[in-house]
Structure formats: C-alpha cells, structure tokens
Chain A
Amino acid sequence: NAGVMQNPRHLVRRRGQEARLRCSPMKGHSHVYWYRQLPEEGLKFMVYLQKENIIDESGMPKERFSAEFPKEGPSILRIQQVVRGDSAAYFCASSLTRPGQGAQPQHFGDGTRLSIL
C-alpha cells in the first residue's frame, strides 16, 4: 500500500533555474493538492487538481508557477525562474473523494524541500 510519493525529497536550484516537483497520489485517489510550507509556518494551499483538470488554483502565484495532473503519470508542480523566496517545503496530498462529498482526510507525501542558492 504505497502512500503518496513525492520526488525528489530535496532539490537545490540556482536563481533563474526551473524546479519540477513530482507527486504520485495514493492508489485509487484522483484528487491531488499542493501545499507550501515555509520554515516555522503553517501549510498554505496552492492548487487542487483532478485528472487533467485544475479545480482550484486560488493559492498559486500568478507568475512562474504552474501545475498539471495528466491522464497518465504523476502530478507536476513547476516553478520557472526560481528566486530565493521560493525556498520552502512543498507537500502534495491526495484524497479519495472531494471534500463536500463526505469530507475525506488528505494523505500527504513526505514533501520536497526546495533550496534556492
């Protein structure tokens, strides 16, 4: 019973480079959520996707950030032209059904710790 799988666990990028973070949800889960956590802070919602669709991207910065969840393969969070302020832990979570349809817990991956030099 594999849980939510995120890779890489740690990612180091120089300013201006691109960062790609991957997330495979739990088996049978079709709802994926991305959260960002700064040191000593709580988790901030970024985006919610269901297969091939972005459901809610209200937490995504308007520029440089994008997310996808293709029909086949993992969900990808992409950050272009990274800046020092992008350094954070990025967590992916998945759920079986969408909250509101009988709220289900979200299962989190181990996260990707992104460091920008």
Chain B
Amino acid sequence: GQQVMQIPQYQHVQEGEDFTTYCNSSTTLSNIQWYKQRPGGHPVFLIQLVKSGEVKKQKRLTFQFGEAKKNSSLHITATQTTDVGTYFCAVPSNTGKLIFGQGTTLQVKP
C-alpha cells in the first residue's frame, strides 16, 4: 500500500534555531496535508498543498510541495517553545483515509 516516509523522527533545538521535517513518497501525490499534535493532544490540521512546487507560509512556518509532487517539507524559522509537538504529514487516499507519516517530534530548549 501507499506509504510516506518522514524524517527525522526526533529533533531537539535551542529556542531561536530553525527546524525542518521532510516527507517522501515513492509515488506521485495528488496533495499532502500537514498536522501538528501537541503532547497529550490531538492532531490539528495546519495546511494542504496541492500544486507542484507550491510554497505556503503561515507566520514562521513554510510548507513546500516538491516539483514532482513526491516530497514535501515543513520549515519553522526561529523556533519558540510553543512550537513543541509532533508534526505529521498525511496523504489522503482515494478511499478517504489519511495515511500518516511517522511524525517528527520537536523539542525546543528555552
């Protein structure tokens, strides 16, 4: 079945440093979604990317969709302690389910 690989699994940064998580698929994706899950919380939708080469920004977060639509990245500039959590990419399948990446857990040292 379809899989999406996400790296790294964990990332510890000093507050103010940048952070990036990557998702890769062996197949071309129609679109990709990104979610954030705070510790003890539930996944919260951040954004959806649809177009080849698309770049979207939300304040300090930059989301990219690769030209071949097989990879995506989330970059956070100047991390803050409020950025702590696990970031998941997710690929919607034709049947409706979301296939999640393994997630990248971000820890930020103040």
Contact = CB atoms under 8 A, between A and B. Distances in A.
Interface stretch (B12-20, B39-47, B55-63, B77-85): B39-47
Q: How large is the interface on B (under 10, 10 to 19, 20 to 34, 35 or more residues)?
A: 20 to 34
B33 A56 contact: no
A69 interface: no
Contacts of B41: 110
A103 B30 contact: yes
Contacts of B43: 43, 91, 93, 108
Contact of B45 (A56, A100, A107): A107
B48 interface: yes
A105 interface: yes
B34 to A, nearest CB: 10
B108 to A, nearest CB: 18
A85 interface: no
A69 to B, nearest CB: 13
